[in-house]
Amino acid sequence: MSKKPLILVTNDDGITAPGIRALIAIMTTIGDVVVVAPDSPQSAMGHAITINATLHIEKVIIDNGNQEEYSCSGTPADCVKIGVKQILNRPPDLCVSGINHGSNSSINVIYSGTMSAAIEAGIKGIPAIGFSLCDYNWNANFEHCKSYIKTITENVLKHGLTEGTVLNVNFPNLTKNNIKGIKICRQAQANWDEEFDKRQNPYGKDYYWLTGKFVNLDQHKEDTDEWALENGYVSVVPVQFDLTAHHSIQELNTWDFDKK
Amino acid sequence: MSKKPLILVTNDDGITAPGIRALIAIMTTIGDVVVVAPDSPQSAMGHAITINATLHIEKVIIDNGNQEEYSCSGTPADCVKIGVKQILNRPPDLCVSGINHGSNSSINVIYSGTMSAAIEAGIKGIPAIGFSLCDYNWNANFEHCKSYIKTITENVLKHGLTEGTVLNVNFPNLTKNNIKGIKICRQAQANWDEEFDKRQNPYGKDYYWLTGKFVNLDQHKEDTDEWALENGYVSVVPVQFDLTAHHSIQELNTWDFDKK
């Protein structure tokens, strides 16, 4: 039996995306790799799962690596569920998701299919990391991410992660020589100021495209992921999925709920 | 100008679901109500948003209340975005989502379209509450929820919510006389142990249905929402959307990232 770690690889851009191909290539140097990834792009799917439709999986060969690969008709979270429970014979030692074509820093973690896959693995007690590059281009260059991904992954395999947490790793869009290193951060407080681009279809009916601009409410805060990325660092944010705002429980207990 | 609060109502079961009709009826006794809700069921959509397709909204009249209503082709999070930025003239004083047909307690908050709408409002700085009834039936009885929803809503309008938090409220499936009251809780640690029901389509191809059983890792813990619901209480969990696991930052800073 192999002593190598078993690594489940997934993403949200789809199994043929250059980002996941780069991630697979790195992971095959570290462990035994099984890929279960969406058969089509699933960006901005958040933590959606498929409960009202059927799921299909297909064993596929996409490149010459020694990984085993399955494409799945579901969301990133579905891929992790079906990978762990249906495809793998034992729980993986690690789940990695990405490399996403585009940033998943700060509030974007909430909307991110890449991170939902990592969080799904975390819920199952599997150490997990989501990797994203701040470049939405399909032909983005992932070269400068490789040694960092390897270092971070090896650290996670060596140390494990605090129970109830996974890692959200984002790379600035820089060449390797311009990256200053890795920075452990908190998620910047930020939101999107949406604009809806209103148009009319050929039949006179209105429709909308969701657009908007990113608003960083934590400008110049050096402990945030946004600051790290703007200043040439790889950002690493520990992410939890206990969403309880423990600090506000005491306040809520002072409310008067008896006036019914 | 009206002194009544402006309340945005949405859900994930779709604009015609009995749960949202019950919620609208309560909210029209409290404020001016605008409904922006999905035109079809969106359960388990997590925090998905629509960025690769167009959105449609349609002004509709569904019952005789004095609310204004719009059905939207998008996800619950989309409904809040387009409601706030395109339909309403000013930010609402409150956003309520539900009443969901089915539980959104403990880890289900992650998969919940109902809660994603509340969280989206929270991200925009709008006080928000998601309401769910632990009964998946379309014909569920929401009567016993009404006075509690009114009390909780009035408290939120009076006190506001801690910045960065929204409320996740779940109702046990009991008659009013059997409910013991409201309990402020933390999210129970829990997960789903999935099973994939494998079938074959008429053309000989395998497909899967996602099923599974809920595993409560916090059995008998009286401070959790699962305990509250099992013991006849309405559970109220404050939920945050800063996912940073602040407690694990120090540990990560001891890792050796320099061996590249």
Question: Read out DSSP for chain B?
Answer: ---SPEEEEE-SS-TT-HHHHHHHHHHTTTSEEEEEEESS--TT-TT---SSS-B-EEEE--SSSS-EEEEESS-HHHHHHHIIIII-SS--SEEEEEEEES---GGGGGT-HHHHHHHHHHHTT--EEEEEES---TT---GGGHHHHHHHHHHHHHH---TTEEEEEEE-SS-GGG--EEEE-BPPPEEEEEEEEEEE-TTS-EEEEEEEEEEETTTT-TTBHHHHHHTTEEEEEEEE---B-GGGHHHHTTS-----
At residue B7, φ and ψ (nearest 5 deg) are -120, 125
Model pLDDT for residues B14-60, shown as the tens digit of each residue: 999 999 999 999 999 999 999 999 999 887 777 888 887 889 999 99
Interchain CB contact of B163 with A (< 8 Å):
no
| C-alpha distance from residue A194 to each of A208, A213, B85 (Å) | 12, 6, 7
DSSP labels, A169-211: EEE-SS-GGG--EEEE-BPPPEEEEEEEEEEE-TTS-EEEEEE
B41: nearest CA partner in chain A: A52
* Paired tokens of A66: 């020694």
Please state, in angstroms and rounded to a whole number, the distance separating the CA atoms of residues A28 and A32: 6
- Cα radius of gyration (chain B): 20
Residue with tokens 């009286």: B222
Q: Is A3 exposed, middle or buried (0-12, 13-18, 19+ CB in 10 A)?
A: exposed
Contact A155 B206 (CB under 8 A): no
Average pLDDT, chain B: 94
In angstroms, the separation between the Cα of residue B13 and the nearest Cα of chain A is: 12
Residue written as token pair 């008896």:
A258
Nearest-by-CA chain B residue for A160? B252
For strands A94-101 and A6-10, give the pairing. parallel
Q: Is B44 on the interface with A (CB under 8 A)?
A: yes
B235 pLDDT higher than 70: yes
* B86 neighbourhood in chain A, CB within 8 Å: 196, 198, 208
Residues of A in contact with B182 (CB under 8 A): 257
**Best mutation target, A106, A180, A211, A243, to test chain B (most B CBs within 10 A):** A243
Which residues of chain B have a CB within 8 Å of the CB of A147? 260
- The reply to whether B15 touches chain A by the CB within 8 Å rule is no
Put simply, the answer to whether A111 touches B47 (Cβ < 8 Å) is yes
Q: How far apart are CA B236 and CA A66, in angstroms?
A: 49
pLDDT confidence tier of residue A2, bands split at 50, 70 and 90: low
* B187 to A242: CB separation less than 8 angstroms, yes or no: yes
Q: Is B181 left (phi over 0), alpha (psi -120 to 50) or beta?
A: left
Q: State how far the Cα of B88 lies from the Cα of A173, in Å rounded to an integer.
A: 38
DSSP state of A5: P
CA A167 from chain centre, in angstroms, equals 9
Q: Which of A51, A111, A123 sits opposite B210 (nearest CB)?
A: A51
- Give per-residue pLDDT as tens, B69-102: 999 999 999 999 999 999 999 999 999 999 999 9
Which of B148, B196, B246 comes nearest A260 by C-beta?
Answer: B148
DSSP A95-152: EEEEEEES---GGGGGT-HHHHHHHHHHHTT--EEEEEES---TT---GGGHHHHHHH
What domains are defined for chain A?
6-188+222-252 (3.40.1210.10)
B51 touches chain A (CB under 8 A): yes
Q: Which of B 116-145 lie inside 8 A of A, CB atoms?
A: 116, 119, 123-124
Using CA coordinates, name the residue in chain A closest to B77. Answer: A111
Tens-place pLDDT, residues A167-205: 999 999 998 889 999 999 999 999 999 999 999 999 999
Conformation bin of residue A182: beta by default, left when phi > 0, alpha when psi is -120 to 50: beta
Chain A residues with CB inside 8 Å of B119's CB? 110
- B155 close to A (CB below 8 A): yes
B237: chain A residues, CB-CB within 8 Å: 244
CB of A157 within 8 Å of a chain B CB? The answer is no
Share of chain A above pLDDT 70, in %: 98
B 69-88 residues inside an 8 A Cβ radius of A:
77-78, 81-82, 84-86
Digit-coded pLDDT (tens) for B185-222: 999 999 999 999 999 999 999 999 998 999 999 999 99
Give the predicted TM-score (pTM) of the model.
0.93
CB atoms within 10 A of CB B170: 29
Percent of chain B with pLDDT over 90: 86
Kindly report the backbone phi and psi dihedral angles of residue A94, in degrees, each rounded to the nearest multiple of 5, phi listed first: -160, 145
